[in-house]
Amino acid sequence: MRFVRRAWILAWKDLTIEWRAKETLNSLFFFALLLIFLFQFALGPDRERLSAALPGLLWLGFILSGLLGLGRTFAGERDNDCWDGLRLAPGEKSAIYVGKLAGNLLLMLAVEAIFLLLFGVFFDLDLVAALPGLALVVGLGTLGLAAVGTLFAAMTAHVRARELLFPVLVLPVEVPVLLGTVKATEAVLLGEPLGSVAHWLKLLAVANVIYLTIGVLTFDVVLDG
């Protein structure tokens, strides 16, 4: 219970800062908008080609915006010299991981919801029918992205060239998550039942369990480094 409280306090702190400054949210919103314009220009008016590329484009947008947000997970602590405060916080260090992860997850899901809405408007998608399946797939994929991203963000927080190193470290790990989510999103948007992609969903679930376990167990090592 105290573990959950500690994690929640940290997530609440981060979300409050974000809510007041809207630093990340604003830039990610405009980033999403720009990406959608870019996609439209790049693919042209051909509907058929568009719908074939849509799941990939959607996840490309999620990942690019996600990486931008995740890379800044510890920016506040780093820039304001609060890193030691974080390290010296009482209790288990993994609560910090869970708190940061929860904050990241909420922020990413908010951006992804906006992104989906824009996608639906610009590309004329029927999102309502696909929504339950889409929510499951996006939730699983985002968790996989955030679990690794939060851990690696702490790792690269004090490494030189971290802006470059962070995506280079995260993306190769996310290969299974990306393949799984793109395939599952494709099926969901085509109106197929979730059972047809059950093996991908299981893979995503297993990946999330592995990433979360490693994150929780190794975070005190990463934070001390």
Partner 1 sequence: MWFSTGSRRLTRVLGWLAALGLLAGLVLALGVAPREVSQGDVQRIMYLHVPSILTAYLAFAIVLVASLGYLVSRRQAWDRWAGSAAEIGTLFTGLTLASGSLWGKPTWGTWYLMLRGMIDEAERRAQFAAVLGIVAALNIPLVHFSVLWWRTLHQPPTLLRPVPAALAGIFRFTLGVNWVAFTLLFAYLLAKRIRVGRLSEEGLP
How many CB atoms neighbour CB 124 within 10 A?
10
Q: Which of 48, 81, 84, 224 binds partner 1 (CB under 8 A)?
A: 224
> What spatial distance separates the first Cα and last Cα of the chain, rounded to whole Å?
27
Question: DSSP letter string over 12-34?
Answer: HHHHHHHHHH-HHHHHHHHHHHH
Q: Residue 172 interacts with partner 1 (CB under 8 A)? A: yes
Candidates 21, 75, 113, 210; binder of partner 1 (CB under 8 A) is: 210
Sequence-distant (6+) residues with CB within 8 A of 188 are 130, 133, 134, 137, 194, 197
Residue 183 contacts partner 1 per CB under 8 A:
yes
Query: What would the x/- binding string for partner 1 be over residues 71 to 90, using CB under 8 A?
Result: --------------------
Closest CA to 74 of 157, 158, 13: 157
Q: Which of residues 109-148 bind partner 1 (CB under 8 A)?
A: 148
Rule CB under 8 A: choose which of 7, 207, 212, 216 binds partner 1: 207
CA distance 108 to 209: 19
Residues forming the site for partner 1 (CB under 8 A):
148, 151, 155, 159-161, 165, 168-169, 172-173, 175-176, 179-180, 183, 199-200, 203, 206-207, 210-211, 214, 218, 221-222, 224-225
